[in-house]
Amino acid sequence: MSDHTHEHGDGCGCGQDHDHDHEHEEVLLTLTDENGQDVEMVLVETFDVEKHVYALLLERNNPEADGIILRMEEEDEEMVLYNIEDEEEWNRVEAAYNELVASQE
Nearest to 43, CA basis, from 32, 53, 57 = 57
Distance CA 70, CA 84 (A): 6
In tens, the pLDDT along 9-28 reads: 444 444 444 444 445 577 88
Instruction: Show me where the domains of the chain are located.
Output: 25-102
Q: Name the amino acid, one letter, at 104.
A: Q
Confidence of residue 100 (pLDDT cuts 50, 70, 90): confident
Whole-structure pTM over 0.85, yes or no?
A: no
Which ranges in the chain belong to alpha helices (H)? Answer: 87-104
pLDDT of residue 78: 87
- In which band, very low, low, confident or very high, does the pLDDT at 29 lie, cut at 50, 70 and 90? confident
The reported pLDDT for the residue numbered 10 is: 40
